Structure 1
Amino acid sequence: MAADDTTPLGRWLARDDDEEELWRRLAPGPPIDEVARRISAVPRSFLEPGLSVRALVGDVLDELVPDPLAPLSAPARQAAEVAALVDADRHDAARRGAAVALWTWASEDDLGPTDPRLLPWAAARVLAAMAWRLAPVVDPREWLADAERRDEAARTFLFWSGQLPAGEDVATARALLESRDSLRRDQSLGQALEEQRHRVEVLRRLREARAREAAARPGHE
């Protein structure tokens, strides 16, 4: 499948995020039920048509990761770049997906912090996953109405945040996420995803080979 880079899925596939590497370095996260509870509590204002995701990034993320030397911190700036594309594309489901992700961080104000806290450092990657990977396949309104789809959204959010659900090891968390992965279960879309994963793996091996070659050169310290 040749994805158009201006479609949500096309934008996701163009990112080449290394899923395998992320599974190897997950940090401890909160219970998955707690993340799902926050998703279910998203205010209606976050789902309004025409909502500016870019504006939400500044409101939500800069409070969590402030930078006294810049209008936006580095994670917020990177997330703002994704948000600007989401806004420009005018894909309603993608916009809702990004907004729900931002609410999940913002929910600290109303519901208190999770334990451990949700990490905002990979916010751009999380926004991309929720807006471009999941939302076009499962509309965020289904995340609110259906418990299994909400669990999928919570697991997607936590994984791309770089966190492991509390009480689960990597094998369990991976099996549960993959069993709910709506994109992978769609035959045609899943093929495009597998092609992306293969491309990322080839690039990773190439980088490793180049690093080994560089280390073997005379004079390398």
Structure 2
Amino acid sequence: MMIHRLLFCCLVLVPAPLWAQQVQLKALFGSSAMLEVDGRQRLLKSGQTSPEGVRLLEANSKFARVKVGERVQKLTLDAPVAARYARAEQTEVRLVADSRGHFSTDAWVNGRRVPVLVDTGATSIAFNYPTAKGLGLDLDGAEPISVATANGVTRAYRVTLASVTVGGIKLHNIEATVHANEFPHITLLGNSFLSRVDMEQQRGMLILRARN
């Protein structure tokens, strides 16, 4: 119960911005640029992003560099039209840090709910033994391993989870470790899950995005 009082999170599911389909440079104003994005005019300063997801990386008297999705393109007044882009939606989960700067939420492991703490220093999802048994994880035949923890080297078991869901992000065949004792006190959401999503931190918020 103490863990639940100490750890607080706010999980928000939002669709990521849709990528613009067409971008055109209309004018340059020092470090700002007037763009026409899908027929709407947007005056952006360098570093700003339009509601359609177009980010102005740089602007000067000669050109503007924009980023749409993962593509960067240089626009000039002589060649003002960017290539057309396909629209893409990404499922997005936003986690708000608690007073200690930790990010926690609920995950669904093989269809069962469990509180988790985001830990980028953990190689995989890590359960203590009581939690694993409560989730119905089958440890018969699981590979025994040794893992290093803050309390020293301890015995654990390597397992594969059929599915792990956080918010609207669901991944399959995720590696996890089950410690043979009551450590860690809360399940750690480690890199076997985190390495398969895109992560970004903004103003005390951690954003997880599903990869298309």
Greater fraction strand = 2
TM-score under structure 1 normalisation?
0.22
Q: Which has the higher contact order (CA 8 A, sep 6+)?
A: 1
TM-score under structure 2 normalisation?
0.23
Greater fraction helix = 1
Structure number with larger C-alpha Rg: 2
